[in-house]
Structure 1
Amino acid sequence: MSLDQEFQQVSGSVRNWKTRPSDSENLALYSLYKQATVGDVNIAAPSGVVESAKFNAWTGRKGISQDDAKQQYIDLAKQLQSKYG
């Protein structure tokens, strides 16, 4: 299975977990997903609290290649699967 295929499969399964990860775990997954699918942040900083937290988490991934972000996302999701899946 290719990296892209595994990423799509794992990201799809994360959406179907029985319980929601903690805020910090969710931000880590979100930021890796955005870095993997979009690349470096390409939007202006938002003003809302939740939006700012997501923006800052994504900004923290700046410079990570999309393939590396996909692999890190897969690794983190697999680690959290037993806890939330």
Structure 2
Amino acid sequence: MDLLQQFEAAATASKTLSQKPDNETLLQLYSLYKQGTEGDVNTDPPTNLFDFVAKAKYEAWQKLKGKSKEEAQQEYVALVTRLKGA
């Protein structure tokens, strides 16, 4: 199974975890997924100062700037695998 297939399988598996991850882990999953599928952040930051969720997601993705899609996919697969085993 190549990396892209593993990544897609992990994305599917992440929706069926036995326990919901904490918010920090959810942000990590989100940012790694976005970096692995789209690359560096390609949207403007949220303009609503009170939309804390959107701001947190944007900042988490922004922190991964420069990481290759492949590296993000590998880290995503490893994280989901770890969460499945937890």
**Match of 1:22?**
22
Structure 1 vs Structure 2: percent identity of aligned residues? 39
- Equivalent residue, structure 2, for 1:41: 41
- Is 1:61 the equivalent of 2:64? yes
Which consecutive aligned stretches of 4+ in structure 1 deviate over 2 angstroms post-superposition? Answer: none
Q: Residue deviations 1:13-46, cap 9 Å, x none?
A: 1111132100000000110000000110000101
Q: Please, which runs of 5 or more residues in structure 1 have no aligned partner?
A: none
Distance 1:60 1:40 in 2: 9
Q: Does 1:80 align with 2:83?
A: yes
CA RMSD of aligned residues (A): 0.8
Bigger shift: 72-81 or 54-63? 72-81
> Which residue identity does 2:62 align to in structure 1?
T
Aligned partners of 2:82, 2:59: CA distance in 1, in Å? 23
Contact 2:17 2:83 survives alignment (8 Å): no
Give the TM-score of the pair, scaled to structure 1: 0.93
Structure 2 contact 27–60 (Cα < 8 Å) conserved: yes
Match of 1:71 in 2: 74
